[in-house]
Amino acid sequence: MNAIEIRDLSKSYKDFNLEHLNLTLPGGCIMGLVGENGAGKSTTIKLILNMIHRDCGSISILGRDNVTEMQSLKEDIGVVLDEVGLPECLNRRQVGNIMALTFKNWDSDYFEALCVKLGVPDQKKFGEYSKGMKMKIGIAVAMSHHPKLLILDEATSGLDPVVRDDVLDLLNDFTRDEDHAVLVSSHIVSDLEKICDYIAFMHQGQLVLCEEKDRLTELYGLIRCSAEQLKELNPQAVIGKSESPYGVEAVVRRAELPAGWEVSPIDIEELFVMMVRGRA
């Protein structure tokens, strides 16, 4: 079963349009959502979680409609947003006690084990936590009712590299179960590169690309040429470019390129930067 199916989703703000978004996250997979500041990643995540109203389209989570069935879906979804909102006066044990009343499947032992693994302080109150500590307890809370789908919006950016690595391991372990899936937005492309099965690129409210990570380097490459040479190419072949007085660097679809061009491999971070720059 697909973990998330988004069909023809649109949402407009005064200066921003998310337009006809279609996206599928298969079960057992981790999808990384990348895009420049303001691309629409958090808006998409809020729409998935039914935190904001959509203009049109449909979203199905674990086979259930995300509006009419959100109440029951809450047990199956673990969420970490960029701000973890917990009462400032609670320590970690008290947070666990409250969550035990909130979720039917709350697993106190697992919560305690995750807190210890991630280094969540024992006695301090949430209000005294650093940003990273807040994220850590947010991640432990999100996982301790044994959800089937985890959604993380910029959840790892405040964490030190060692803890980030622990979190990436947790996400990898989580998706060993075919019923589990993760949607994670991050600006740390190297993290996504390590764990994701799929990468979805958003740009100015549109999904520019969604591919299996391993296929990205097969499908796309980098060419260096003059502006005149670039004009000879089918515009469909070029998905982003950067011009300088010395020539042009362009990201191309390898399959659309005529024979004879020398194409260099491109990593995901470079691909992302070139796509954003080339389209800006």
Ligand X SMILES: Nc1ncnc2c1ncn2[C@@H]1O[C@H](COP(=O)(O)OP(=O)(O)OP(=O)(O)O)[C@@H](O)[C@H]1O
Where does this chain bind ligand X (CB under 6 A)? 13-16, 35, 37-43
- Please say which residue, 43 or 175, places its beta carbon nearer to ligand X: 43
Nearest-angstrom CA–CA distance, 220 and 238: 10
Q: How far is the CB of 98 from ligand X (least distance, A)?
A: 28
- Asked if 239 and 247 touch (Cβ cutoff 8 Å), the reply is no
Q: How far is the CB of 14 from ligand X (least distance, A)?
A: 6
- Asked if 197 and 29 touch (Cβ cutoff 8 Å), the reply is yes
Taking each continuous run of H as one helix and of E as one strand, the counts in the chain are 10, 13
- Please say which residue, 21 or 143, places its beta carbon nearer to ligand X: 21
Nearest-angstrom CA–CA distance, 135 and 137: 6
Q: How far is the CB of 205 from ligand X (least distance, A)?
A: 7
Nearest-angstrom CA–CA distance, 214 and 29: 13
Polymer length of the chain: 280
- Asked if 30 and 270 touch (Cβ cutoff 8 Å), the reply is no
Q: How far is the CB of 82 from ligand X (least distance, A)?
A: 7
Q: How far is the CB of 37 from ligand X (least distance, A)?
A: 3
- Please say which residue, 35 or 221, places its beta carbon nearer to ligand X: 35
First vs last C-alpha separation in the chain: 36
Q: How far is the CB of 142 from ligand X (least distance, A)?
A: 18
Nearest-angstrom CA–CA distance, 84 and 193: 25
- Please say which residue, 40 or 96, places its beta carbon nearer to ligand X: 40
Token output for 242: 């950067």
Nearest-angstrom CA–CA distance, 258 and 246: 23
Q: How far is the CB of 80 from ligand X (least distance, A)?
A: 14
Residue 216: in which H helix or E strand, if any?
helix 213-219
Place of tokens 């203009």: 55
Residue 215: in which H helix or E strand, if any?
helix 213-219
| 210 DSSP 8-state letter | E
- Please say which residue, 15 or 232, places its beta carbon nearer to ligand X: 15
- Please say which residue, 144 or 185, places its beta carbon nearer to ligand X: 185
Token output for 54: 């959509």
- Please say which residue, 111 or 201, places its beta carbon nearer to ligand X: 201
Q: How far is the CB of 52 from ligand X (least distance, A)?
A: 7
- Please say which residue, 53 or 104, places its beta carbon nearer to ligand X: 53
